Amino acid sequence: MELAKTLAQKHARLMLDAERFIWKHPETGYKEWKTHEYLETEFAKLGYELTLAGDIPGFTAEIDTGKPGPKIAVFGELDSVICASHPEADPTTGAVHTCGHNCQAAALLGLAAMLKEPGALDGMCGKILLVAVPAEELLELEYREELRKKGVIKYFGGKPEFLWRGLLDGVDMSFMIHTDNGDKSISGSSGGSNGCLLKNIRFEGKASHAGGSPHRGINALYAANLALSAINALRETFQDNSHIRVHPIITHGGDIVNAIPDKVTMECYVRGATMDDIVMVNKKVNRALAASAAAMGAKVHLRDIPGYYPRNYPAASFPMMQSAMEQVTDEVSIRPSGWGTGCSDMGDMCAVMPALHPYVGGAIGTFHGADMYVTKPEVAVVQSAELQYVMLHTFLDDEAKNARELIDNYKPDFATYEEYFAFVDSLNLDIDAVCHEDGKTTLTYSATTEKAVEDATDEPL
């Protein structure tokens, strides 16, 4: 589509300036106020009326083609990761955009400018919702838990939070384009990727002099070490096609070397290809945590937090994406049978609507690592905006024939937002998992399981 290239090139400087500003001002999730203000100002210059998220960064801008049809949301993520070893990381916070979200946000601005041009909406029907969304990266969990307790947010991910706040009401399908490695290659990614559940774990023992009276203490660190070993021993029970990933870390291992540690904290993800897999494995992990604490005479507090839903893209979308990509570049790589083991809250969109998450090149190095750089912004940003414009025409031209095919044939896991939220909320767990009383130890490691022995007949994954 020649118009797409012409419009993208016309607004290339706007996009490239935005990419550099956002790269130089990295901010982590629910803190992206500089990025928000920059984009808010630029969207206003273009004549958009914005619906602000309010007490968190982010906004939406709606475009009506004037013809009835479906409503498509296009996302641009605002947040960075933390990698203090990166040469260009913020010296105070360690934040840096080695996730490539700076390119997404800049491309979203470029798309907004392109859609304001005369004739840009010709042939399309329905509505387009441009969404500048915060907090895709699942990090700084304690900070987000504080926001949740204060009532600022309900969900740790920006997209489910926007969904909860009603900012995505009426949306029929959605897509976004993520930055990837490569000078020109645009990839439709894979058939989907893992979801995840987050865990905060606190082992509680009894302090005592480590040299003079260790027998008077209860070593919370040894309980945590037992738990790490128990979790590792579970790995052979994980089936390959479930794509399970369990990766705990110890975030606090004790206070002083000459005292038995009485408080040890851990964080962990449980990732998997389906929510059934994640729930089952998480139950086993919790059992290992509780049993390990019990073995040492310690206690453990389990806090499970909903992470992200697995991504599953509609099979019919791949030829549509390929057709759009081939109008932008000669290098197209689509792998519908592939599977990614990372996670994104784009999966939460997949739970309730058709949602797509293709990639565009332009970066080098290891994502989230100290050597990642955007070396081809004309690909990562300008070409991304061009592709997004082509994709909108692919879905909304011809009375939205392609979009309607995806929407009508897609069977989401949840028929309504309410059903989705009810399920996600059911994943929350906040319990003391071990009770020592009258010579009896009781384990409670899930919302529905009272004793470990009752779970001895787990069905295999």
Listed as ranges, residues in the chain with pLDDT below 50 are: 449-461
What's the pLDDT score for residue 459?
46
SS3 42: helix
Residues 114 and 38 placed together within one structural domain of the fold: yes
Same domain, 299 and 370: no
| 331 and 363 together in one domain | yes
- CA 11 – CA 18 distance, rounded (Å): 11
The distance in angstroms from the start CA to the end CA of the chain is 47
User: Are 14 and 56 contained in the same domain?
Assistant: yes
Same domain, 120 and 238: no
Of the CA atoms within 13 Å of residue 87, those in its CB half-sphere come to 3
CB 434 within 8 A of CB 290: yes
Q: How far is CA 43 from the centre of its chain?
A: 25
461 occurs within a structural domain: no
Domain membership flag for residue 81: yes
Helices (H) and strands (E) in the chain, counts: 13, 23
Mean pLDDT of the chain: 94
> Is 391 part of a structural domain of the chain?
yes
Please report whether residue 265 resides in a domain: yes
pLDDT digits (tens, 9 = 90+) for 8-30: 999 999 999 999 999 999 999 99
346: which residues sit within 8 A by CB, 6+ positions away? 75, 159, 174, 176, 311, 355, 357
pTM given for the model: 0.92
Give the number of domains in the chain.
2
Q: Which helix (H) or strand (E) holds 191?
A: none
The answer to whether residue 51 sits within a structural domain is: yes
- What CATH number does residue 207 fall under? 3.30.70.360
Is 224 inside any structural domain?
Answer: yes
Based on the domain organization, do 412 and 324 belong to the same domain? Answer: yes
Q: Are 140 and 254 within one domain? A: no
Measured distance CA(456)–CA(336) in Å, rounded: 38
On whether residue 26 sits in a domain, the answer given is: yes
Domain that holds residue 281: 195-307+428-455
Angle at 72 between CA 147 and CA 312, to 5 degrees: 75
CATH code for the domain of 353: 3.40.630.10
Q: Are residues 169 and 212 located together in one domain of the fold?
A: no
Rounded-to-integer distance, Cα 81 and Cα 29, Å: 8
**Cα–chain-centroid distance for residue 329?**
28
Does a structural domain hold residue 460? Answer: no
- Beta strand 429-432 with 59-64 is unpaired
Judgement on whether residues 319 and 286 belong to the same structural domain of the protein: no
Same domain assignment for residues 111 and 237: no
CA 33, 39, 44, 49 dihedral sign is negative
Q: Are residues 449 and 380 in the same domain?
A: no
Question: According to the model, what pLDDT value does residue 333 have?
Answer: 84
Statement to judge: residues 337 and 411 lie in one domain: yes
